[in-house]
Chains A and B, each alone.
Chain A
């Protein structure tokens, strides 16, 4: 039984809100401009559902930043954007309005850094709660169809019904200026079965 109780869900959401808040601070510092991140939607769903939601709300082609982790437990954190939005995000953050047909190499690196900052914030919070040592891999930049990207995440049993923590993140840049822009992205945390039960344990300890 790997379903989360509503208490557990609330607790996870609270943790992620904290993490996203930290990410916003870090980004603002990096680009020297106020960047607001909000989480309008949070859900714990299975992988199929996650794919469906992303496909519903975004384009078929997506860009993603992936960070795998292992150690005691295995998992993957991903930040996904519709491909066009990913470019927009980088440009907006860099205050760059030059339209280029595709992300250049250097811009991919920037997207990687931005994704890394957000995922680190979430994963840092997560690691803190679980209070165990993880091995984090360096972030990777990927592009392709949503199901491909989610499907090929590290080999785990029972992929179909695997629970994922799913967040929609709105990037709001230049809130009070002409550059004001809101860009939607998706943060996904894929965990293996032992990771989930470990997480449930720790969450319930916090609640107790």
Chain B
């Protein structure tokens, strides 16, 4: 019974094992198989009958020495269990998964085996093996691993590609910086030498060539700057300046700059600037100008006819900070327009609306992208709207700081009260321009009437209408503005001077202005003019404040002012490029400076040990020793801590300036060097505006007329630092040395020495400009141009004119010299004896070809700073520099004469 029960239970258990879903093998203490379940039969292809009673080693001889047999031994002897993992024992037994293909092709089953000892009381210890098929798990894991490896490989590849791209990008930036330097160096030479050549009075044909080289060079420089700007913005290295600037002036200058281009295409350029705008803003004027220039340029470029309107107004939404203002700028054109699908692409770099436009219109395609980024730096937004064939509007907002200074409106509010209620007639054929002008004038309180032609204007006057002001466009259909003005003035001007006539010219041709003056037009303005400028000039007319015509504008007088500005100064130029040496030397020597040249930093250090200079101009990149190192050593080794050192570098990447200043340089000029900048920076550090000691005699100017025929005394005085004594002296010298120039010029012309005549005219023009001998200046200038352009028919009459002007100027000069001061003896700044001594020493040195002559000459210069920039002195200096002592000796008596000395 017991046995039966036992055997029944045993049969049931055997059946359980037989059907188990894993391999089960039971070994007795002899390690013989006593149970081999159905799973094992399938996997091993051995029936239980075949396996039972045999040891595992007998069934699978390859198990000899295997971990499985050792584990079975441990379990049998000590009862210790074991687990055999797949990784360490991949396929312990030759078993195969139940795939439907033939056994030969099947891989072995991956197995996981547990071995445990079975302790049953009264029986020797048995060992049970449990075998799991993990083939699927293994292959899944393999796949997973492979995928992971692939992903990792891909990540590595991407990282590598990214690194490569970054390196390439850095290399590109470095390349750009280097290229900019490399390009700027020859550009410096090209622009510098053409400037010098233009100063050397080339003939007409060559002047034309040179000017074209110069303007092409500047265009090229702009392109390079664009590319540089772009890469700077890309690298996040562009910072905006924070300076005060005059918005109306900026816009006026901008409009004036474009007026010629616009006029050439017969495009009406309009400027809408409400007088309510702040006068001064804080921001980056150069960058603002850059954005506007770009937009206006595009507008003009893509507009074949019609108008371009530039407008500024406070933006609808203002920033929260009370010291900030947000302005909305817009540039609207009537051009070809841009299809909507291309509009968005416009602000991407290297893109133009239509790739084919590249060929039609040129350009890098960087401008708008740069503008967009700049606007964003100004916390603004750039927008564009366009209708093909009707035109485009580009607008942008930008934030600026406000300043304490009030608006122009408030400043002019009181003074412009005189205009309120006065009548004005606007004569312009362009409707937009009319509208803007009448709005501007209306905002000043004027009553405005508008007509579209000169004929209409005249008939209005003829009908008995009266206007205090006429604002006349020069370019009108039918009767042009100049003629209409002439007629209005001739026929309808009252003795009081009304109507005042302001002529708007598309661009400020000097010829037009001169003609306008002859006609009696009160003011000539470049069109478009900002509202504030119009108001200013109107006030000027009412208060009889003549604004110097542009013909004595900034550039010539500034040039004159540079002459001799650096005389007596000794400069060290450290520059390795020979052409650049020449350019800088000539620019500096033209200003009267003495220049010593070093080819690199090392040479400069050596030279500075033996000579004393007033300032150093230092190139940054040089062989042997660069500018940074040289500066550092000058400051430390030579202990020249106060010596002004000015960097001249073609490196245009931001940060150079900081780097220069950090090593101890005082200032920085970027190449290509602009003459004006060079002089300004030098003047700043050398303090060499002509020295102005307190005038020995403080003259009350009550006795002086503000002007004499041909002589604008006030302008002259202001140009010479309000020093009447100085003014008189210069006038006297002018009369002594140049009184006969008009005759000489006529003689030269008659003898066909045209070149010489031109040179002398040029000198005369410069001197006349300095003296504010306005008529003489104009006359000389006109003649110079006529001579240059070979307009021989006009020349005889102009020579007569020059004679007349000269006579008038001389007469006025004599009058001026009679005023009070003539009696005051001129006190030489040093003791007479010393001057005499120096003069004698100079004569001696020159006679004996002693090189001390240069030093003596410079001592004389230092003692007579006001004389030293005179022609005869400069010439002497030049001859001395060339060691041309024989010539210098001949000139010595002339020099002595300027000192009121005569040589024995």
Q: Name A residues whose Cβ lies closer than 8 Å to a Cβ of B.
A: 29-31, 67, 71, 90, 93-94, 98-100, 104-107, 109-110, 112-114, 116-117, 120, 123-124, 127-128, 133-139
Is A67's CB under 8 angstroms from B87's CB?
no
Nearest-neighbor residue (CB-CB) of A29 within chain B = B67
CB A165 to nearest CB in B, in angstroms, measures: 18
Chain A residue contacts of B117, Cβ below 8 A: 136
Q: Name 13 interchain pairs, CB-CB below 8 A, sorted by A.
A: A71-B119, A94-B88, A106-B137, A106-B138, A110-B87, A112-B83, A113-B89, A116-B81, A120-B74, A120-B82, A133-B79, A133-B119, A136-B81
A117, B84: Cα distance in complex, Å: 10
Binds A, one of B143-151, B373-381, B790-798: B143-151
Known: A100-B145, A123-B80, A139-B81. Contact between A109 and B86, CB under 8 A?
yes
Is A106's CB under 8 angstroms from B87's CB?
yes
A93, B86: Cα distance in complex, Å: 14
A69, B84: Cα distance in complex, Å: 19
Is A110's CB under 8 angstroms from B88's CB?
yes
Known: A98-B145, A113-B88, A138-B114. Contact between A124 and B78, CB under 8 A?
yes
Interface check B763, CB cutoff 8 A: no
Known: A94-B87, A106-B87, A136-B116. 11 other contacts (CB 8 A): A31-B88, A94-B88, A104-B144, A113-B84, A113-B85, A124-B78, A135-B79, A135-B119, A136-B79, A136-B81, A138-B83
Interface check B196, CB cutoff 8 A: no
Residue in B74, B79, B82, B83 whose Cβ sees the most chain A Cβ within 10 Å: B83
Interface check B141, CB cutoff 8 A: yes
A112, B145: Cα distance in complex, Å: 21
Nearest-neighbor residue (CB-CB) of B145 within chain A = A98
Is B79's CB under 8 angstroms from A137's CB?
no
A67, B114: Cα distance in complex, Å: 13
Interface check B368, CB cutoff 8 A: no
7 A-B pairs with the lowest CB-CB distances in the bound complex, closest first: A109-B85, A113-B85, A110-B87, A110-B85, A120-B80, A138-B81, A116-B83
CB A127 to nearest CB in B, in angstroms, measures: 6
Is A124's CB under 8 angstroms from B119's CB?
no
Is B83's CB under 8 angstroms from A109's CB?
yes
Residue in A99, A105, A107, A127 whose Cβ sees the most chain B Cβ within 10 Å: A105
A94, B85: Cα distance in complex, Å: 12
A128, B80: Cα distance in complex, Å: 12
Nearest-neighbor residue (CB-CB) of A107 within chain B = B87
Is B148's CB under 8 angstroms from A100's CB?
yes
Nearest-neighbor residue (CB-CB) of A133 within chain B = B119
Chain B residue contacts of A105, Cβ below 8 A: 137, 141
Residue in B87, B119, B144 whose Cβ sees the most chain A Cβ within 10 Å: B87
Out of A71, A106, A117, A137, which one reaches B134, CB within 8 Å?
A: A106
Chain A residue contacts of B277, Cβ below 8 A: none
A98, B150: Cα distance in complex, Å: 11
A137, B145: Cα distance in complex, Å: 33
**B61-90, CB under 8 A of A: which get 1 and which 0?**
000000100000010001111111111110
Is B87's CB under 8 angstroms from A138's CB?
no
Interface check B112, CB cutoff 8 A: yes
Chain A residue contacts of B74, Cβ below 8 A: 120, 124
Is A137's CB under 8 angstroms from B81's CB?
yes
Is A136's CB under 8 angstroms from B85's CB?
no
A117, B80: Cα distance in complex, Å: 10
Chain B residue contacts of A67, Cβ below 8 A: 81
* Overall SS of chain A's interface: helix
Nearest-neighbor residue (CB-CB) of B130 within chain A = A138
Is A113's CB under 8 angstroms from B83's CB?
yes
CB A72 to nearest CB in B, in angstroms, measures: 12
CB A79 to nearest CB in B, in angstroms, measures: 13
Residue in A29, A98, A113 whose Cβ sees the most chain B Cβ within 10 Å: A113
A116, B112: Cα distance in complex, Å: 14
Chain B residue contacts of A31, Cβ below 8 A: 88
CB A142 to nearest CB in B, in angstroms, measures: 14
A106, B80: Cα distance in complex, Å: 22
Nearest-neighbor residue (CB-CB) of A113 within chain B = B85
CB A70 to nearest CB in B, in angstroms, measures: 11
Is B116's CB under 8 angstroms from A138's CB?
yes
A135, B75: Cα distance in complex, Å: 11
CB A4 to nearest CB in B, in angstroms, measures: 24
Is A30's CB under 8 angstroms from B67's CB?
yes
Chain B residue contacts of A104, Cβ below 8 A: 141, 144
Residue in B84, B88, B117 whose Cβ sees the most chain A Cβ within 10 Å: B88
Chain B residue contacts of A127, Cβ below 8 A: 78-80
Chain A residue contacts of B88, Cβ below 8 A: 30-31, 93-94, 110, 113-114
CB A135 to nearest CB in B, in angstroms, measures: 6
Nearest-neighbor residue (CB-CB) of A140 within chain B = B83
**B96-134, CB under 8 A of A: which get 1 and which 0?**
000000000000000010101101000000000000001
Known: A124-B78, A133-B79. Contact between A106 and B149, CB under 8 A?
no
Is A134's CB under 8 angstroms from B138's CB?
no
A179, B141: Cα distance in complex, Å: 24
CB B139 to nearest CB in A, in angstroms, measures: 11
Is B79's CB under 8 angstroms from A112's CB?
no
Nearest-neighbor residue (CB-CB) of B115 within chain A = A138
CB A78 to nearest CB in B, in angstroms, measures: 15
Chain B residue contacts of A113, Cβ below 8 A: 82-85, 88-89
CB A105 to nearest CB in B, in angstroms, measures: 6
Nearest-neighbor residue (CB-CB) of B114 within chain A = A138
A201, B84: Cα distance in complex, Å: 35
Chain A residue contacts of B89, Cβ below 8 A: 113
A106, B90: Cα distance in complex, Å: 11
A174, B119: Cα distance in complex, Å: 39
CB B146 to nearest CB in A, in angstroms, measures: 10
A127, B80: Cα distance in complex, Å: 10
Nearest-neighbor residue (CB-CB) of A67 within chain B = B81
A113, B71: Cα distance in complex, Å: 11
CB B562 to nearest CB in A, in angstroms, measures: 73
A24, B67: Cα distance in complex, Å: 14
Chain A residue contacts of B114, Cβ below 8 A: 138
Is A124's CB under 8 angstroms from B80's CB?
yes
CB A93 to nearest CB in B, in angstroms, measures: 8
A152, B283: Cα distance in complex, Å: 73
Chain B residue contacts of A29, Cβ below 8 A: 67
A31, B134: Cα distance in complex, Å: 20
CB A35 to nearest CB in B, in angstroms, measures: 12
CB A110 to nearest CB in B, in angstroms, measures: 4
CB A99 to nearest CB in B, in angstroms, measures: 8
CB B812 to nearest CB in A, in angstroms, measures: 97
CB A28 to nearest CB in B, in angstroms, measures: 12
Chain A residue contacts of B80, Cβ below 8 A: 120, 123-124, 127, 136
A94, B81: Cα distance in complex, Å: 22
**B576-620, CB under 8 A of A: which get 1 and which 0?**
000000000000000000000000000000000000000000000
